[in-house]
Structure 1
């Protein structure tokens, strides 16, 4: 049998057992090359679960894939002796999310689990919270976060609401390969619920506040599911002066007012920054569509701008540690940031007397930063892609809603003392030097192209960057928790140093370079920032050519 004949047999079998007539018909219309792509390999678990385009076939998000994936998750749970226990299923408001969540819930029910199917589209952190605080053995959230409207995804939580990590993800993938045909997987009816869990989550998110009083807040959920929930949390926390971007408030799976529904993209936050300026706000907040990420905007002498994820991470990390009792309690306190994030949080932790842990990229790793540290407790974790975990006891994942509440609380605290968030950043720069960060993304067509780019960099890394000799560290050959497909380039002199981490993205078809420049002599902040920005620009230009 030829490869083409084998593929054709697999395709015919898939179509014959596709429970959705629309995707079955879609496959019948596909060309040979398109079919090869859709059947080349199944979706696999990356940094934040399964994600892929809404299309027919095993290499896409569709009803058949959701059914077989859920059967596989159920099998792994049963193999662990967890048959009959509670499972939580939620979804965002993307195309297909309602049908996918219902199908997942019905498969779990048919496999003998007690299923809580969220009664409405909810932010991802609510599912993580419900798993952790409801004693569930697993949770599934149907979401593709900030991906384009043509995508959807499937995120899995195990073990007290932690996102899954190896070997669990590989076990699920192996079970997926052995799953029955999609139309042969049993499904039992499920009644939606979860109102109490949502209310408990809102009340808990509000409790991250430390101050009293209010500030004026401008908010956008970017057409996602976070709008009503972040408003409820802010009001519950005592913030009454909140203004929303009306055109972006209601969930809309087409994200009509933005090119990309990602608060990191400048075009996506124009509306909330305009609103903030119009109403004279003190702070602006933009959530991504599933509300697990939070970007913060601030007024400057030259107009409003968004803080970077690193800047927000420094501010929130320092604020959280300032609330911790010095001494033994502080020594047992852990904060964490990822390999691709700034090093300033480590310096902040040292100053306070807390422990800092660096992890691989992704909150499935950040959320576990204290797991191997007996008698220590994770208090805060962040990564540069505007993900913040400000209440790990409640949600062991990034949570844009509680992060928004805490950011607004910090704005109140600073305002009481006559300062702003920019003043707080200046203070951190004086204490720890100027840190300037940037990221360069190179779009790729395939995993093979990413492998080729990384191979070229490993075989012929630069000897000099921006006039400094380069030290190369290949984390692919590292031993320990930071072993990963990444290359780290470092250099500098006593006062000025740089670090570039190059890695393939785990959620998008890109190879990314994460760049940080540190100028230790920060007596003159303006001069140090100019120096840092100049070096940062040179490094960005180099990264674009790799």
Structure 2
């Protein structure tokens, strides 16, 4: 079929009057139709994620119903799927459409009673002994995006080959107006929330509670859950940024609702200053990430928070079978901490879906540099995904203990630098308008690796697409540099970005401040050279 015929076929089966009208208005506009029908959102290990709108290259009710039908085919009749949703545009509609398709195919579906954080959905899959879970969210993406994240029965996000099986099943789905739709699904009550709160408040938070926290849910769905978690754990109620306290799908006070983006935390930092807070915490919109800052506006990196939480967890747990895990793009410091505590350590590919597949012991802690942490205790991890609520509790307990001693999180970071050497990390992220530029850059990096970066010899270049260190193949390269430094480069899995992860290790022989200044100079030199090499 030509583009116009495909658009008319889409209109005929689309249950949404808004996207039908959108396509009706575009009939005759070949360029606009080509943009929507010339490609499709691909279902992968991140599920689906993209801009809202009509056509197979957009997030809409047809795309979601096809995804649900594909998932139903892979699971088979009689299986149980839990469905959660955030407060983005159409998230609740997509959740109900998923339930209708699943129950129409003979599966059992349970929907969360309201908008809840992503980690609560991940928890619910295992708590309810379900076979799979679906979370309708685009996490920290722009306001016009939405997404569809699939979890398996272990409560972790899907990995290959399950993603390919679901994708192939989606391709076999016909018209969605011919799918049988059910109406008999279960709406869960708050008992799932209570069980989650019981689990995350049982992690090793520490005994101290006197800490004043400034907090923002960044217009997302984490606010009420975090406040209840803090109350149950015995912490004083955080001061909350009023303008960002309630869910807002338009994210009206931030240009990009990601705590890592410049300016995103400005309002909570202002509140912290005005309230005399000891600690600043921000969740991203679906509350699976946790950003941390201290008075004065110093925001900690994900690697810094990960290192602090790792020691906090290891001090609060027991057993030489304990396992801590991070990713190949995160700091190497966690390996040194694990060695010091005599516990097992593993590295995974990027993303919590891979962290949760690590073997070698009883996992008590996992983290990735992109502000994702899963904090566990002697019973293991309550959530098999990153959890911004549980991480916030643990950080608050850590900050409270430091305050008791007249110290801050920055003092604890200095302690670690003296013990293990200063491990300084930094990102370099380049957004492109033409996605083909990323593939071209990766090919250049493989074919012609640089001989030197930041004044350091590249002593080893590794093509991660061939697999490295026993890990599955992935699209990336890793350069080992002279003098204990490293660069990893990979395409983003969810955005049109090329991402680089830099690390230098500086021994602390005098003042920590001197080592930090040296590390910043080293990272700046790496960034400058790498930007030239990438040529984007």
Category of TM-score, reference length = shorter chain: over 0.9
C-alpha contact 2:372 2:386 (8 A) present in aligned 1: yes
The aligned counterpart of 2:219 is 223
The aligned counterpart of 2:338 is 349
Residue 472 of structure 2 is aligned to residue 515 of structure 1: no
| Unaligned stretches of 5+ residues in structure 1 | none
Comparing 251-260 and 28-37, the one that deviates more: 28-37
Alpha-carbon deviations, 1:328-374, whole Å to 9, x = none? x22x111111111111111111111111111101110011213xx3x
Residue 141 of structure 2 is aligned to residue 153 of structure 1: no
Quote the Cα distance in structure 2 between the aligned partners of 1:464 and 1:87. 51
The aligned counterpart of 2:478 is 488
Alpha-carbon deviations, 1:201-258, whole Å to 9, x = none? 1222222223143211111000000010100001100012421001100000000001
Residue 317 of structure 2 is aligned to residue 324 of structure 1: yes
Structural mapping, 1:48-87, within 5 Å? 48-78=46-76, 83-87=77-81
Alpha-carbon deviations, 1:382-441, whole Å to 9, x = none? 111101111353110000001000100111222233321111100100011111111111
Aligned residue among 360, 366, 370 for 2:355: 366
Quote the Cα distance in structure 2 between the aligned partners of 1:47 and 1:139. 14
Aligned residue among 29, 33, 36 for 1:35: 33
1:266, CA displacement in angstroms?
A: 2.9
Alpha-carbon deviations, 1:134-185, whole Å to 9, x = none? 1011111100000000000001111221110111111111111111211111
Provide the TM-score with structure 2 as the length reference: 0.95
| Unaligned stretches of 5+ residues in structure 2 | none
The aligned counterpart of 1:472 is 461
Cα RMSD, aligned residues only: 1.5
Aligned residue among 486, 497, 505 for 2:492: 505
C-alpha contact 1:215 1:241 (8 A) present in aligned 2: no
How many residues end up aligned between the 2 structures?
Answer: 524
Structural mapping, 1:79-478, within 5 Å? 83-189=77-183, 190-208=185-203, 209-299=205-295, 303-325=296-318, 329-330=319-320, 332-370=321-359, 373=360, 376-391=361-376, 393-470=381-458, 471-478=460-467
- Residue 523 of structure 1 aligns to a residue whose secondary structure is coil
C-alpha contact 1:53 1:151 (8 A) present in aligned 2: yes
1:16, CA displacement in angstroms?
A: 2.0
- Residue 256 of structure 1 aligns to a residue whose secondary structure is coil
Provide the TM-score with structure 1 as the length reference: 0.93
Residue 514 of structure 2 is aligned to residue 527 of structure 1: yes
Quote the Cα distance in structure 1 between the aligned partners of 2:424 and 2:189. 43
Quote the Cα distance in structure 1 between the aligned partners of 2:509 and 2:108. 58
C-alpha contact 1:223 1:253 (8 A) present in aligned 2: yes
Comparing 284-293 and 210-219, the one that deviates more: 210-219
Quote the Cα distance in structure 1 between the aligned partners of 2:188 and 2:127. 15
1:521, CA displacement in angstroms?
A: 4.0
Quote the Cα distance in structure 1 between the aligned partners of 2:367 and 2:209. 26
